[in-house]
Structure 1
């Protein structure tokens, strides 16, 4: 159980300081920013790093698991349609088994990886890329505004940022949504949230299916 709120926190994406109550279950409370529409948990519910890492290590996403590869094609295919042959990419938040990076390399794209727990290569964040992918990552970010700024700053002109995460639909469906029950998931994005991000950073935006958003710089 998290620390009870005394003063509502600012939105971790846009910084607005007047979030509204959105939902509460037996484990956590959820707020929504009226400006960017991000739904997020207050800082008191964020897991300590060692517990967060332990939960990620329980994931069993293996590079040659065909089911997992089929899942990642939902990000791979839209990016391949938008980038030139040999375009250089970064798999941001690649996890312990960077399968998507391997799939891009198999398609002829040089790749770098970054993950604060499993591929902590800060030099990868000092380069620029033709495309960046973040699959099942942004819902884990404690400071999404800062991280999106960093990601867009690493894109070359005309670059692509592909984000995969399940999107908030409405308050009623959120109440029974399994996605919110993972304690490492601390931020939940709606279509309107991604539209706010695109406007904030001056990017194009297209949605691919139910859980992929593609930004173009």
Structure 2
């Protein structure tokens, strides 16, 4: 059954997009015709126990230069936009928080939040000059709610930096795309989706690298 509305923009124009019938990854995906989001319905999402088990396999070591270089894809273009001593939030910091340390080493003040590893909701009562979400948005069950909450935490002129693989609006691409095979990846964003978000927030948006998206809140 087609979902009644998009989990991002709440539009009711939802179409069937693709079904994976393989033994190891059976799932149906739908696409919103308003914002371009591709997503799995609730019945095909992992439960929280399955999610945590998957995240426990991650080896995010703050001392790992390879991991730091990966995060630098977002750090470098975002840091270049920031005033010295800016205040930031790393949303979805994971089992080995690292991006916050990189920003702290650059002289910024950081807080972190993670649903499983640092679930302190008081972070959402503060205002930030920038917020980061690296390899997080593809895991969100309710991206409209979560992203709007982050946006409200930004000060005027602030930045939201996202890292995620950008989906192509093409069934053949999606069928062979390794990124969707992670069972915790349930929400996929096209270029159209990010432009929809920019319009929704009256924000500017830039794509400084192939998996990096930076929004700026209007002054």
Matches within 5 A, 1:87-102: 87-102=86-101
Asked if residue 58 in structure 1 is aligned to residue 53 in structure 2, the reply is: no
TM-score for both structures, normalised by structure 2? 0.95
Number of aligned residue pairs: give it: 212
SS of alignment partner, residue 52 of structure 1: helix
Q: Does 1:155 pair with 2:154?
A: yes
Verify the 8 A CA contact 1:31 1:39 in the aligned structure 2. Answer: yes
TM-score normalised per structure 1: 0.96
Q: Distance in 2 between matches of 1:197 and 1:29?
A: 24
Indicate if the aligned counterparts of 2:13 and 2:34 stay in contact, CA closer than 8 A: no
Q: Deviations over 1:89-144 (max 9, x none)?
A: 00000001110001001111110000010011111111010000000000000000
Deviates further, 16-25 or 149-158: 16-25
Equivalent position of 2:79 in the other structure: 80
**Paired position in structure 2 for 1:173:** 173
- CA separation in 2, counterparts of 1:44 and 1:67? 36
Give SS of 2:6's match: coil
1:198 aligns with: 198
Work out whether 1:17 is the aligned partner of 2:16. no
Which runs of no fewer than 5 residues in structure 1 stay unpaired?
Answer: none
User: Runs (4+) of structure 1 moved beyond 2 Å?
Assistant: none
Structure 1, 159-168 or 16-25: larger mean CA deviation: 16-25
Q: Secondary structure at the match of 1:97?
A: coil
Q: What's the offset of the Cα at 1:9?
A: 3.5
CA RMSD of aligned residues (A): 0.9
Matched ranges for 1:114-129 at <5 A: 114-129=113-128
CA distance in 1, matches of 2:109, 2:61: 20
Please list every run of 5 or more consecutive structure 2 residues that lacks an aligned counterpart in the other structure. Answer: none
SS of corresponding position for 1:53: helix
Tell me by how many angstroms 1:78 deviates: 1.1
| Deviation for aligned residue 1:172 | 1.7
What CA distance in whole angstroms lies between the structure 2 residues aligned with 1:201 and 1:99?
A: 28
**Which stretch shows the higher mean deviation, 156-165 or 8-17?**
8-17
Q: Please report how far the alpha carbon of residue 163 of structure 1 lies from its aligned counterpart in structure 2 after TM superposition.
A: 0.5
What CA distance in whole angstroms lies between the structure 1 residues aligned with 2:151 and 2:204?
12
Contact 1:9 1:42 in 2 (8 A): no
